[in-house]
Every structure is written in structure tokens, then in C-alpha cells.
């Protein structure tokens, strides 16, 4: 598992900072600006304030723990999505192959991140046979 306590700061406009992980990742720090996280495993956002616009695409579960009130999010998971955002609610869009658990009542649908042309998934090239 990749674990970091370093803050992650993406640009405030234009193409987002893209982080790609080949395993589970736990980010125990503030994320701000426009950030896209793509992970082969689980994604944990642990106990910090998230601001800006955030896209998370994971092949396993996604855990959103901490403040997401000031963040527009798009979350796509091949597993479950669990959001426990300190009672502040979730704003964005979630698609999951498994369960979606939101522990707050103040949840708002917003498809801005998914429809923003800067947040489309990067084109991938396969090498080898």
C-alpha cells in the first residue's frame, strides 16, 4: 500500500494533476485544486479536508473519511464507496459496482467533474503483446 501524509495540490484550472497508483493508496493529507486519482486497488482519503475538484477511479473500494463539503467529486469504483464526511455531506456523483454508503443527509448530486472536458480520463497505450 502507498501511504502519504504529504499534501497534494493540483492546479486551480485546466488539466488536473493525475496520480496513478498500481496498488492500494491511503492519502492522509489535504487535497486541493483539480486532482484525478486512478488506482488499481483501494483508495482511502483519511481524515483531512478536501477542496477543489476531485475525480477518483478505483478497481476496488473507495473510502472518503473526513471533510468533503468544499469539494466537487466524481467517484467510480469497481467495489464499494463509503463516505463518512464528518456530517458535512457529499457533493458530486458516485458510480459503484458494489454498495454506496453515505453517512450524512446533506448529499447533493452534481455532475460537473464528470462532464468537464479537462477531467476526461487520459488515453492509455498498451505496449507489448
Q: Where are the domains of the chain?
A: 2-99
Instruction: Output DSSP code: residue 48.
Output: S
83 or 24: whose pLDDT is higher?
24
The rounded mean pLDDT for the chain is 88
Round to whole Å and give the CA distance between 123 and 111: 21
The pLDDT of residue 77 is above 70: yes
pLDDT the model gives residue 26: 96
**Cβ contacts of 99 within 8 Å, gap of 6 or more:** 80, 81
Report helix, strand or coil for 47: coil
Cell digits for 59?
478497481
The pLDDT of residue 125 is above 70: no
pLDDT in tens, 17-27: 999 999 999 99
Amino acid at each position: 500500500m502507498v501511504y502519504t501524509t504529504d499534501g497534494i495540490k493540483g492546479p486551480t484550472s485546466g488539466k488536473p494533476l493525475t496520480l496513478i497508483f498500481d496498488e492500494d493508496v491511503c492519502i492522509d493529507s489535504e487535497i486541493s485544486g483539480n486532482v484525478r486519482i486512478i488506482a488499481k486497488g483501494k483508495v482511502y482519503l483519511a481524515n483531512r479536508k478536501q477542496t477543489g475538484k476531485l475525480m477518483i477511479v478505483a478497481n476496488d473500494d473507495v473510502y472518503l473519511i473526513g471533510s468533503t463539503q468544499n469539494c466537487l467529486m466524481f467517484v467510480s469504483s469497481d467495489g464499494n464507496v463509503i463516505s463518512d464526511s464528518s456530517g458535512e455531506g457529499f457533493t458530486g456523483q458516485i458510480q459503484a459496482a458494489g454498495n454506496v454508503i453515505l453517512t450524512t443527509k446533506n448529499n447533493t448530486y452534481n455532475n460537473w467533474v464528470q462532464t468537464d472536458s479537462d477531467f476526461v480520463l487520459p488515453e492509455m497505450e498498451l505496449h507489448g503483446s
